[in-house]
Structure 1
Amino acid sequence: METINLLSEGLIGYHAGWERQRARVAARIAEEVPDGIILLEHAPVVTYGKTGKPEFRLLSESEYAARGIELVPTNRGGDVTYHGPGQLTGYPIVHLGEGKRDLHRYVWTLEEAIIRTAADFGVAAGRVEFHAGVWTESGGYLAAIGVRVQRWVTHHGFGLNVDERVHQGFETIVACGQTGRQVVSLSKLAKTTLTLEEVAHSSARHLGVLLKPD
């Protein structure tokens, strides 16, 4: 699977990232490119899915604007989440061939890649029954997942919290509609400062193994 690492470009606005993603999806549908994953760090943005509840966005539009946080409705599944500095955002663009057209299994695969990535840095993480994503044993929310498919090509993906900067944005929402749940970062859990580059390398490696064509 090809890795499209955009971290060297710095913070990327949500719409600019979406255009990169959209173009790659179209090229994958046309079989012009192989499966791949786009890895980047977004400028501050709160996004919400088709069923997102307004009450989970805790500020007014003007208050979000004053904090430099963009508000964007999306066509993915899931509720409200945040992307911004300190978070690794991954957009796997993968064709789900015959026998693999199971979105629950695909979400499980993304979760598994993040669980294995956390383990690379000595952090135990896993799944919970009440919500998709990756969680810690203490109930902390480490990574959000929201996906969509178009002609069985995946887009959207995951947001993995790498360092403590993410809290500046998450404090303005009820993350994924999970009231009372704490958002945690990989760096804090690993008790060391991790870079997005090293976490990106690990996550891309695990995704490449888990999503490898038969």
Structure 2
Amino acid sequence: MQSIDWGRTAYPEATERQKQLVADRIEGRIPDTLVFTEHDPVYTIGLRTGADAHVLWDPAQLERQGITIVPTNRGGDITYHGPGQVVGYPIVDLSAVKDLHAYLRFLEEVMIRAVGTLGLAATRRNGLTGIWVGTRKIAAIGVAVRRWVAYHGFALNVAPDLNHFSGIVPCGIAPTEGTVTSLAQELPTAPSMAEVREVLFAEFNALWPQFIGSTTAQ
């Protein structure tokens, strides 16, 4: 397993770069790889949302906020990416597993453990992806797969502008079901982005062999 940090990227650029890594992974030119990035402000529209994107702001507001809207081929609903959020794109071979639901649970476990290491207790919620602090969502997940190589991934809120989530119904979550939070909101002192990336990679790298082994042994 290797880790790559792309720094800050525009979402469309990151998508194209992922596609190349997926092709490289399929052909065996690279090992399983966890890419980290931090996106320019963007609302990404997942396959489950379709044309009904639940954008609550008009185009003039979006322009003032510097937020673009980009359709994507990952699963899930509309969500926000932006500065202060660690985005992880695992480019990993699932051909020995072929179970996307198990993979989603694996990503949740990685983030639950990482957030725990950083000093915050988070959990799953029945019927909902991502991880939560009570009814406050702190991380989102949306994945895609090509020839059983997974891409897209997860977004963990470290210290983003949470006001940007008010411009959408994030991940299809109605206000009555929950809100969005961040490490900066929940902890006395927010960890650095570098520390969060380091902890996420350590947890992913530690759990990955167990996930592959335990799944294929069933």
Place the TM-score, normalised by the shorter chain, in its bin: over 0.9
Corresponding position of 1:154: 150
Corresponding position of 1:4: 4
Unaligned runs of 5+ in 2: 214-218
**How far 1:55 moved relative to its partner?**
5.3
Alignment of 1:49 onto 2:46: yes
Corresponding position of 2:62: 64
* CA distances 1:129-165 after superposition (whole Å, capped 9, x unpaired): 13110011x21100000011100000110010001x3
* CA distances 1:100-152 after superposition (whole Å, capped 9, x unpaired): 1111100000000000011011100010013110011x211000000111000
**How far 1:188 moved relative to its partner?**
2.3
Unaligned runs of 5+ in 1: none
Which of the residues 140, 154, 164 maps onto 1:169? 164
Match for 1:56: what amino acid? H
TM-score, normalisation: structure 1:
0.93
Match for 2:161: what amino acid? V
CA contact (8 A) 1:116 1:206 kept: yes
Match for 1:112: what amino acid? E
Question: Following the alignment from structure 2 to structure 1, what is the Cα–Cα distance between the partners of residues 61 and 185?
Answer: 28
Q: Mean Cα displacement is larger for which, 151-160 or 190-199?
A: 190-199
CA contact (8 A) 2:53 2:78 kept: no
CA contact (8 A) 2:162 2:180 kept: yes
Task: Indicate the structure with greater strand content.
Answer: 2
CA contact (8 A) 2:130 2:141 kept: yes
Corresponding position of 2:77: 79
Which of the residues 89, 99, 103 maps onto 2:100? 103
TM-score, normalisation: structure 2:
0.91
**How far 1:205 moved relative to its partner?**
0.8
Distance 1:147 1:55, change over 3 A: closer
Corresponding position of 2:33: 36
Cα RMSD for the two superposed structures: 1.3
Aligned residues: 208
Question: Following the alignment from structure 1 to structure 2, what is the Cα–Cα distance between the partners of residues 192 and 155?
Answer: 31
Match for 2:129: what amino acid? A
Corresponding position of 2:111: 114
Match for 2:138: what amino acid? L
Task: Give the match's secondary structure for 2:48.
Answer: coil
Report sequence identity in percent: 40
Distance 1:48 1:205, change over 3 A: same
Which aligned runs of 4 or more in structure 1 are off by greater than 2 angstroms? 60-63
